[in-house]
Structure 1
Amino acid sequence: MSSSGLQLLGFFLSLVGLSAVVAATFMVEWKQRQQGSKHHLYEGLWTRCSGNEIITCEPHDSLLDLPAEVQATRAVMLLSIFLSTVALLLSTVGMKCTRFMDGKAESKSTTAMVGGIMFMVSGLLAIAITSWYVTVIVQSFQVTHHLQSSEFGKAVFVSWAGGLLLMAGGSFLSCRRCSRSQSSSSESVSSNHLLSTTNPKSNYV
């Protein structure tokens, strides 16, 4: 696969990963608990929901009243989204299929590499904070009574998937070896073409 194809694949994976991280950040099913057979309680980073057949949601009252894991997860997930957004802009400028910075191949590859590294960092942040959030929930589940404890919900898996996609896409975008090999091969072809055009002239007297 050519370097342009790898960049497009990395850009697509990173875009899907960013969408997943954004969706996970605003999902309400980070923590869930069931009371009785039908009453469900859900708690997200921004809202909490409860109900039987009809679910009603309300935002968190105060930032200071939130548990530490919710505050930290909210901050790190927003940081991951911010870094991914900046990386998306840099990758768009640095990709070979775009017309930005034409005539500056080295600068374009460097810009794409920086964008890929930022994608990898944002994905790592999302995976790390989500894993820590799950660890806190599991520890509280083991300490408290099972009827009063909470379990982690679907948003955790969406966040993990988004972080993995960001890291995979960033690794493709930050690969410069492919672009260097392609540029070196094109330079060798052009040099061979010049030699083939100049050598016949040396046979004439």
Structure 2
Amino acid sequence: MMDIVEVVALFLGFGSWILVFVSLENQYWRESTQDGSVIVTSTVYENLWMSCASDSTGLYNCRDFPSLFALPGYIQASRALMIAAIVFGTFGLVATLVGMQCSKIGGENVVLKGRIAAIGGVFFLLQGICTLIAVSWYAANITQEFFDQFYPGTKYEIGEGLYIGWASATLAICGGACLLFSCKGKTTDEKVLYRYQPSSRNHVFSVLPPSQQAPSNYGRNAYV
């Protein structure tokens, strides 16, 4: 049962790791609102790296942000958090592959592999938390500017890139939680204990303590 949970956690973590890249590549983190506009001639949409504009004819033009230090603080922080999420996800995938019980990598030590898999679960949790903070912080600023009646700039709405980021964070957190749950019961108590072991002379030796062994009816002087 625990092996199945580990496989499910691996697929969840891998899917969340892929969605982080998809979210970063998506250009629609925020899109200019059409609320209250009768005639829309152009649409502006942005992500963490560039700003694009398209007109009613379908032509569009994109430009990268000129300077990192000229950007608002939340965009800089979101960039750093998303990159950290990719790094944490990479470490989580490697640790999970090594620590899975169905994997031959890392030997046959159940306790050690369980701890490595738990580390992978922690990395997936960190990936999910970083992604969740990045997209939620970005969305909070969009919402704040949208409902601010005195905001002079262009107002935006939440784009599909943020929803992809939220989906990635959810999968990563679920995968990390599954890994930690599967590794909870893997302790040294899981070793198999043998009470009896036959010797090469067809004698049976007991590993039970002397107090639990069967009493003997013969003393040492009974044999000649």
TM over 0.5, shorter chain: yes
- Match status 1:149 vs 2:155: yes
Higher helix share: 1
Higher relative contact order (CA 8 A, sep 6+): 1
- Match status 1:121 vs 2:120: no
The amino acid of 1:86's aligned partner reads F
Deviations 1:7-66 (A, max 9, x none): 000000010011111211221111111574241111111111111212222211111221
In the superposition, the TM-score normalised over structure 1's length comes to 0.85
In the superposition, the TM-score normalised over structure 2's length comes to 0.78
Structure 2: gaps (5+ residues):
206-213, 219-224
SS of the aligned residue for 1:177 comes to: coil
CA offset at residue 129 of structure 1? 2.1
Matches within 5 A, 1:48-197: 48-52=51-55, 53-143=58-148, 144=150, 148-175=154-181, 176-180=183-187, 184=190, 187=192, 191=194, 194=195
SS of the aligned residue for 1:32 comes to: strand
Q: 1:112 & 1:47 partners in 2: Cα distance?
A: 38
CA contact under 8 A between 1:26 and 1:45: conserved in structure 2?
no
Partner of 1:21: 20
CA contact under 8 A between 2:145 and 2:151: conserved in structure 1?
no
Paired residues, number:
196
SS of the aligned residue for 2:93 comes to: helix
CA contact under 8 A between 2:110 and 2:186: conserved in structure 1?
no
Q: CA RMSD in A?
A: 2.7
CA contact under 8 A between 1:26 and 1:46: conserved in structure 2?
no
Q: 2:106 & 2:154 partners in 1: Cα distance?
A: 58
SS of the aligned residue for 1:174 comes to: helix
The amino acid of 2:121's aligned partner reads G
The amino acid of 2:184's aligned partner reads R
CA contact under 8 A between 1:87 and 1:118: conserved in structure 2?
yes
Q: 1:197 & 1:39 partners in 2: Cα distance?
A: 85
Q: 2:5 & 2:177 partners in 1: Cα distance?
A: 10
Deviations 1:156-190 (A, max 9, x none): 11000000100001111122235459x73x72xx6
